[in-house]
Amino acid sequence: MKRAPSNSGIEHLERVANDDREIIVVEANHDIGLDRYIREGRDRHDAPNIRLGLKLEDAMLDHRAQVAVALDADQAHRASLWSSMPYGVL
């Protein structure tokens, strides 16, 4: 039986977060290393991790697509604002 992915780190932060604490999550070398590992396709030569690498690459591509949609929406919004401005107004 498959288990749902654990979000224990997030759940822990939600438990300890309160008005007296500011929670800051910083990027770590592990994050950067994993991104490079996947982007460069090194998982393809690491037999035990090929399937995991493909899943991670798929998730990265989904994220990039969402970012692209958000950027396009923002640019369309800015373009509509720009076109509605009188000439010479910045």
Q: Tens digits of per-residue pLDDT, 57-89?
A: 998 888 888 888 888 888 777 766 655 555 544
Determine the 3-state secondary structure of 33 from DSSP: helix
Binned at pLDDT 50, 70 and 90, residue 43 comes out as confident
Is 89 domain-assigned?
A: no
Give me the pLDDT at residue 83, please: 55
CB 38 within 8 A of CB 31: no
**Domain membership flag for residue 20:** yes
* Residue 3 belongs to a domain: no
> CA-to-CA distance for 62 and 38, rounded, in angstroms?
14
Q: What is the pLDDT of residue 1?
A: 47
Does 1 fall in a domain?
A: no
Distance CA 10, CA 49 (A): 25
In a domain, 32, yes or no: yes
Any domain includes 75: yes
Q: Looking at 2-11, 43-52, 68-77, which range is the least confident one?
A: 2-11
User: Residue 90 falls within a domain, yes or no?
Assistant: no
Residue 18 is part of which domain span?
8-84
The number of distinct structural domains making up the chain is 1
Please indicate whether residue 27 or residue 55 has the higher confidence score (pLDDT): 55
Q: Is residue 79 part of a domain?
A: yes
Residue range 9-42, pLDDT digits in tens: 777 777 777 767 777 777 778 778 888 888 898 8
User: How many Å separate Cα 81 from the centre of its chain?
Assistant: 28
Distance, CA of 60 to CA of 31 (rounded, Å) = 12
pLDDT of residue 90: 43
